[in-house]
Chain A
């Protein structure tokens, strides 16, 4: 194995550049290094101005998602050796505005997440003194996978619909809405229906499931979206058939 590998990294600085360009760095090709280690090597030893987000380096904080050779990846889990002999192209996540270098603006997602009402909604709260809401392991299993979302947004970068229609709530927000809808303790699914109505996006979503394929945590947002479509269609039919008072 060669002992060096080339990284082609997006550089963009809004105070200086009109548009992003690529810069190439030679980095040591160590078997235990991931793309994130190589970026840190550049920042520490070569060029301190290279900017990117990272934190836990164990695939759980969701900070370090980037495009690696055109695919959305957590760079803490992308071994350099899997891309040998290189070069490896590292770019900011697709479908988001770039703030600088590899850092994208995710405020749109945070806004959409809030709209999905990702909290437990109860008609009546049980007093704490009466203990926990009972939930069997089987009931837990129905929503557990949706609760694994780390908000890394690889699914947004992979989603062809979000790329075309920024009003689309997007895979993670819908999966998290569904996480609460499916929770046996929740009674608020009726309040989460309108997250789909902000755009026609949902109907453009096909069964391709790019979002599910790129998810590093095996969440199935595509499944959540299909479930949601079904519910939304039922609600629409219901709204045609029932008088207002019965809804």
Chain B
């Protein structure tokens, strides 16, 4: 939405098509809870935000991108305020900020604990006033149109009618988010299947840093519903089965009654999730019906703080877990939350494929490096959504409109979909069976800790699953709103994304941030101060290359928390 508005404002003569498989206000940004970081207080500085981001990312961030990000984040957040976003306020009327994991200063703007919801609805509602923006709601993109080495649109299924159509364009911006559904336990919505990543990957753009997958330390078991980091920022404790604040055993500082920035419960997400695994190995977690859990204790905050600062946390616990955090402990476990990796883009959102841009979680700029700090992803989608919109608008203004011959590609795509799914005879694999096997493989091999053995096995399993996908059979062969067809297409996107993750993780023989190899436990700056770039290679396994990280002012150092 931010990118669409940026195009409309940069060049009102352009027409913008927003193509989305769900109504835009259903998009998964809606679920983001805790907040959005941008320097606003006089005691804070852009350099401190940059350093927190870079050290939090274990020095895999491109520092020129981080510098642009921290500089533009405050004005983007203010712009959203001017568009009506209901940010929480101080008594004097100024925007309020809260502390957040891995951040040295209070700089996280919030709208209670429904920050993403309010940002998305503000952007969506604001977009309605731009006549240049036309929405294609519930259009499911299946492939990009590429002609003469240039991306010139997409083919999409109009779900309501089942019609397969070409939407041509002088430039395309992907804003499709992540792919958490590759895993079983995830905070991600059912629509997060790596669609945009795979569309770009199959069209020839590389994916970057796909081995870096963030586990959020506090998800509810079974549903994977996220309990926001704000719960810890407001003073919540993480305790093991003995009621002990176990993070003190993992070099994250000493426990104090009040939250201390960059310490204990406000350490970074990768370190907290890794501490959970170690705690489990020591036998100090509690066994629940959906595996081991630790507990988040908010009781000492009292009903008033919980109701004003964390109302959604209470609502989610009451409605989905039948637990009242005012009186009870909340069972939590690490769950897959965010992809640091994504489509390779430069600082303006441009991918190496002319005409193709990407912004938000689908992209990897990279500002998140090996581990994203909480509350950096919401401002990221504003800053880089706006940048991608402006640069795509400039690109489009100089191009000729796409030719009608592109429509032939839509006919080819229609034939492919009919042959592979709708008119196919034979086949016996169910979508859900293959999906579950993929999720299990990924959980076992590309989880919080990985090893060469488990990754090589996973690469073999994924190859087999891709072959079996060729043998898929749908119960539903009709046109109108065929959600079994879209589930099958989403599965095929996820299989490609999963394979790219496994190969990147296999080749990176070091441990850094969210990528922890039991067989290579140390960081290796000599060999791996570099981004992985993974290319789709026809029917063969993916090809991985490396590109050095851009360092401007902050040479690699040890990551220190709690001191």
Contact = CB atoms under 8 A, between A and B. Distances in A.
B82 A60 contact: no
B190 A119 contact: no
Interface in A80-134: 99-101, 103, 105-107, 110, 113-114, 117-120, 125-126, 128, 131-134
Interface string A24-39: 0000000010000000
Interface of B: 22-23, 25-28, 30-31, 75, 78-79, 81-84, 86-95, 114, 117-118, 121, 125-126, 128-129, 137, 160, 189-191, 222-223, 225-226, 289, 312, 315-316, 319-320, 430-432, 474-476, 478-484, 487
B481 A103 contact: yes
Nearest to A77: B319
A49 interface: yes
Interface string A166-196: 0000000000100010010110000000000
Interface in A10-27: 13-16
B30 A60 contact: yes
Q: Which of A16, A43, A45, A47 has the most CB of B within 10 A?
A: A43
A60 B117 contact: yes
A136 B89 contact: yes
Contacts, number: 159
A120 B84 contact: yes
A226 interface: no
Given A48-B430, A48-B474, A134-B93, A62 B26 contact: yes
Nearest to B319: A77
29 contacts: A13-B478, A15-B479, A32-B223, A44-B430, A44-B432, A49-B475, A49-B476, A49-B484, A51-B482, A51-B483, A53-B22, A55-B190, A55-B191, A59-B319, A62-B30, A100-B480, A110-B137, A117-B129, A119-B83, A120-B126, A125-B82, A132-B81, A134-B93, A134-B94, A135-B93, A137-B89, A137-B90, A139-B93, A144-B86
Contacts of B82: 120, 125-126, 128, 132-133
A58 interface: yes
Q: Which of A45, A48, A103, A134 has the most CB of B within 10 A?
A: A48
Contacts of B88: 137, 140
Contacts of A135: 89, 93
Nearest to B27: A61
A202 B90 CA distance: 37
Q: Which of A58, A107, A125 has the most CB of B within 10 A?
A: A58
Contact of A110 (B23, B114, B223, B432): B23
Contact of B320 (A58, A99, A106, A128): A58
B475 A48 contact: yes
Nearest to B485: A48
Nearest to A44: B432
Interface string A121-162: 000011010011111110110011001101100000000000
A49 B289 CA distance: 31
Nearest to B117: A60
B84 A15 contact: no
A29 to B, nearest CB: 15
A99 B125 contact: no
A45 B22 CA distance: 24
A132 B95 contact: yes
A62 B94 CA distance: 31
Nearest to B474: A48
B323 to A, nearest CB: 12
Contact of A128 (B79, B121, B289, B315): B79
Interface of A: 13-16, 32, 43-45, 47-49, 51-63, 77, 99-101, 103, 105-107, 110, 113-114, 117-120, 125-126, 128, 131-137, 139-140, 143-144, 147-148, 150-151, 176, 180, 183, 185-186
Looking at chain A's contact residues, the main secondary structure is loop
A93 to B, nearest CB: 14
A33 B316 CA distance: 15
A184 B372 CA distance: 35
A54 B223 CA distance: 14
Contacts of A132: 78, 81-82, 87, 94-95
A47 B26 contact: no
Contacts of B129: 117, 119
Nearest to A15: B478
A14 B480 contact: yes
Contacts of A63: 22, 26
Contacts of B226: 58
A63 B159 CA distance: 15
B402 to A, nearest CB: 28
B95 A119 contact: no
Contacts of B87: 132
Given A59-B316, A61-B26, 7 more contacts: A55-B22, A57-B225, A58-B225, A63-B26, A100-B480, A118-B125, A183-B86
Given A118-B125, A119-B126, A140-B89, A55 B28 contact: yes
B128 A113 contact: yes
Given A13-B480, A126-B82, A47 B93 contact: no
A37 B91 CA distance: 43
B189 A57 contact: yes
Given A133-B81, A136-B89, A60 B25 contact: no
Contacts of B479: 15
Given A15-B478, A49-B475, A128 B83 contact: no
Contacts of B83: 119-120
Contacts of A147: 86, 118, 121
A77 B22 contact: no
Contacts of B223: 32, 57-58
B481 A47 contact: no
**Smallest CB-CB A-B distances: 7 pairs:** A134-B93, A44-B432, A48-B475, A49-B476, A120-B84, A118-B125, A48-B484
B114 A60 contact: yes
A195 B95 CA distance: 32
Nearest to A12: B480
Q: Which of B430, B432, B481 has the most CB of A within 10 A?
A: B481
Contact of A99 (B84, B160, B432): B160
Given A55-B189, A57-B223, A140-B86, A119 B431 contact: no
A105 B189 CA distance: 22
A51 B315 CA distance: 28
A230 to B, nearest CB: 23
Contacts of A99: 160, 480-481
Nearest to A216: B319
B378 to A, nearest CB: 15
B357 to A, nearest CB: 24
A119 B31 contact: no
A133 B430 CA distance: 54
B265 to A, nearest CB: 22
B423 to A, nearest CB: 15
A105 B480 CA distance: 12
A52 B81 CA distance: 35
Nearest to A41: B432
Given A14-B480, A59-B319, A132-B95, A180 B89 contact: no
Contacts of A144: 86
